Chains A and B, each alone.
Chain A
Amino acid sequence: MTTASARIILICSGKGGVGKTTLTANLGIALARLGERTVVLDADFGLRNLDLLLGLENRIIYTAQEVLAGNCRLEQALVKHKQEPNLSLMPAGNPRMLEWLTPDDMRTVANLVAERADYVLIDCPAGVEQGFKNAAAACQEAIVITTPELSAVRDADRVIGLLNSQGVKPVQLVLNRVRPKMVANQEMLSVDDVTDILALPLLGLVVEDEQVIVSTNRGEPLTLNGNGSPAARAYVNVARRLRGEEVPLIDPSKQRRGLRARLLDKLRKSGTF
């Protein structure tokens, strides 16, 4: 097997619905715009959605499955993004077949696309079963994404344990859908709480942003059209940090603290509670 020159990065969370696919799509576009040849690999073939977020749902003809079976060439299965030619999508398979996908298959596919890319981002299925195992086998490093909720953090912890035992390194954290107001009111786990508990380096911090839904509706990731919204800026920063740039992390919950939050802090310090 050839050694790939690209960085092969798994994007996983354990729990579903915390933003894996959104991160993969936005990070893919952001890296491509920074000049990196990027392939996003949708390992979630049972419930694939990455094509939808990228607006490429009508352009998929072949999948990695056909490439593996020798029914098409690699180029035919790679779907190039219209506005961002540095980015291609590779669906692992279609929802109807593919009981036979194994960790080895995923490794083969990832290494194949890695030969013509700088970054390969694998969008991992939710859960810790076979789909996760397949995807994890193909990666060198990983990004775990979670939200500041009990169940999401607990599931992330489980995934981190599995990645550690497989020797995946480095594993970095993206904290998604942070609500600064709730954190300031101490009605949500803080950024420090989550990083303390999971003990991972923080790669990015994304605040709750309605624009994410709008962009999904349009099939145009936020990072495609400049970085006007807070989430778009956060995704671009993740891409830049991934490339080794020093971009300071700003904890939104520590930025604009309201009078009430500051008052509560003072009271707490003085030992009232």
Chain B
Amino acid sequence: MANSGIVGYGTCVPQFRIKPDEIARVWGEEPDRIIKGLGLQEKAVPDIDEDAGTLAVEASRNALQMADIDPVKIGAVYVGSESHPYAVKPTAAMVAEALGATPELTAADLEFACKAGTAGMQICMGMCASNMIEYGVAVGTDTAQGRPGDALEYSAGAGAAAMIIGRQKSQWVAELEATYSFTTDTPDFWRRQHAEFPSHGGRFTGAPAYFRHVMGATQGLFEKTGTTAKDFDYFVFHQPNGKFPLEAAKKMGIDLEKVKPGLVTPFIGNTYSAASMIGLCAVLDKAKTGQKILVTSFGSGAGSDSFSISVTDRLEEARAKVNHPLAYYTAKKTYLDYGLYVKHRRKLKSL
């Protein structure tokens, strides 16, 4: 199905950070247990006027800068998130407007926990391959929620990644060679209507949820494409924390050194819908022509999308066009204490 490829990608991560030590201090937990147990150094926190929409816009504009295409030729925008600013009113329309892609296009918001962004990539792949559109934009964006004091509070980060997918081979910086999905009805993590914070099944989120689906999709892709772990130079797995992706790799006999370049959650937290896509961007920022990348997302509820991606000789030149690559966002940091964090995340109810 090699009829679509990435023509541009971009990311956005808010500049604020909070460390597990600071959260642990407030809740009387031992920071080492969090840092080692979850493999987390710090997480990104949005500014008071940032939301999943603003992050999506900036990531998409960065992608557009790299793609260097006429935005009116964008025929579809899909934004995957579990923190869309509005329950009803599409983030995708805001992104399309901000890109200058309106009005002749289709747009919609997607939700599949942490994998809605990669679901958008698959939709764009299909639309490009079938000649429905010239270019499609798929965004994964989140300002993730964690109940104060819950284990999620240490990891729930903020960030966005955007992929502009096109059908003209000459424009691809990376070819989307194949995709494979693995989906079941597994209630490991959810948020009901009107609930402010998600609930989760504790240890149930591990073996029957994350690992079953991530490994199921990855192995499914291997089988579908007749490949093995040896055929890939990098692996990017959804990264709810710093440990799960490495554990999944270990279980599948994958060299951990192929996973670490795409592991960004330890430094920016779990960016939910953006997590595996930002991981992919981190790898694309250093990959060389001809290298192959396997990406597997995971969304609770539950499902995984795997992609086989091959880097073209256009990537290096395209990277140079971007003013704000991921490294810009990961280097620019302002630390918050818990008090400011509470203000930023609007957790203080009397405000």
Chain A partners chain B = no
* Residues of A participating in the B interface, judged by any CB pair closer than 8 Å: none
* Residues of B participating in the A interface, judged by any CB pair closer than 8 Å: none
